Amino acid sequence: MKRIIALSAVAALSGCAGQAVKNDFTYEGVDSFSAVGVRASSKATGKTVEVSAICTEESRRYVISRRSAGKFGGAGDPWTISIGGETLFAGETFYEDEAEFLAAVSTIEVVGPTGRFGGQDRMTVSSPQMQRIPELCKEKQAQVIAYIHNAEAKATAEDKRLISEVSSRTGAQPMLPGRNQMDFNNLVSLIQKDGISRHRNKFVWAQDGDYRVAQVIGNRVLLFSMTNPGMFPAITIITDEQAIEGQAWSSVSKGPLQVSEIGNYVTAFGVSRQTIVFRRI
């Protein structure tokens, strides 16, 4: 009887030491346009840990995240996530240095409650897939850079084609280098600085800025700056397209505009004010 009691005590001590339990973590890849990672989940502990990297054109940044509150709801949860022996209290932790990240990844564990005799159950979370994240991130970054450069090359080629088409059709030259695009506020500022003669008869693709359609008279559409009409004078666009007061010009047309002249319009109070005139071509 004493031997049975002694063996039972040893078994109890061994069970409560809690140095290891069956690890039921499963792993799945997490991938997006500019990120790679691995999500690890355990049903026994209710814990989900995600190890990932954000791989942009400029940098690679690594993240270890807690993706679950826990089997017991978070507050007072007996299972915790540990990195290098330190509990992950925050939802996630970031690393800029690859070596530091790999060192941290190798130590990720889920730690159970302290047993009656002081031991704690532990499950290793780190996996070979997680150790490969920096390598995969470099590959992803190369793909992102290639995609961006390819998209930029296509956009540049399309801009050149459109500019060439308008020049061939009208004989006008682009107002600006490169994409030949600018918002109305900056176009007005540029004309105020350079004067109208330098840009007259040249064309540009104009973006709305804070200008909106204020008045439509025949084939003339008058646009006002909504936030600073004192600094940004009115714009008149000569066009055959129909416009509605309050619209953004881009709702009417996205076609090119040719710089025409400095004109005048009469306000509701009968005062004559200047306006920069464009023509839709």
> CA 61 to CA 277: how far, in whole Å?
50
Region 168-194: mean pLDDT is 96
- Residue 1 predicted with pLDDT over 80: no
89: confidence class by pLDDT, cuts 50, 70, 90: confident
113: confidence class by pLDDT, cuts 50, 70, 90: confident
Give the residue extent of every domain in the chain. 14-140, 181-280
State the Cα angle at 30 between 27 and 33, rounded to 5°.
165
17: confidence class by pLDDT, cuts 50, 70, 90: very low
C-beta separation of 214 from 243 below 8 A: no
Least confident range from 12-21, 60-69, 220-229: namely 12-21
> CA 238 to CA 191: how far, in whole Å?
18
- Residue 85 predicted with pLDDT over 70: yes
Q: What is the dihedral angle through the alpha carbons of 51, 55, 58, 59, rounded to the nearest 10 degrees?
A: 20
> CA 114 to CA 122: how far, in whole Å?
11
H or E segment to which residue 257 belongs: strand 257-266
Two tokens, residue 154: 């296509």
Write down the pLDDT at residue 251.
96
234: confidence class by pLDDT, cuts 50, 70, 90: very high
**What is the bridge-based pairing of β-strands 26-32 and 92-95?**
unpaired
C-beta separation of 164 from 135 below 8 A: no
What percent of the chain has a predicted confidence (pLDDT) above 70?
88
Two tokens, residue 52: 């990932």
C-beta separation of 50 from 65 below 8 A: yes
Give which of 169, 152, 147, 127 is closest to 40, Cα–Cα: 127
For residue 204, the SS3 value is strand
Dihedrals phi, psi of 279, to nearest 5 degrees: -125, 130
> CA 184 to CA 250: how far, in whole Å?
11
Region 95-107: mean pLDDT is 96
Write down the pLDDT at residue 117.
57
pTM > 0.75: yes or no: no
Region 105-118: mean pLDDT is 82
Model pLDDT for residues 115-139, shown as the tens digit of each residue: 665 667 889 999 999 999 999 999 9
- Residue 217 predicted with pLDDT over 50: yes
8-state DSSP, 174: B
Q: How many CB atoms lie within 10 A of CB 280?
A: 18
- What separation in angstroms does the CA of 51 have from each of 34, 70, 126, 214? 14, 17, 9, 54
Write down the pLDDT at residue 114.
73
Report how far Cα 4 is from the mean position of its chain's Cα atoms.
65
Model pLDDT for residues 135-154, shown as the tens digit of each residue: 999 999 999 999 999 999 99
Write down the pLDDT at residue 267.
82
Two tokens, residue 176: 């600006």
**Looking at this protein, which amino acid is placed at residue 83?**
I
75: confidence class by pLDDT, cuts 50, 70, 90: low
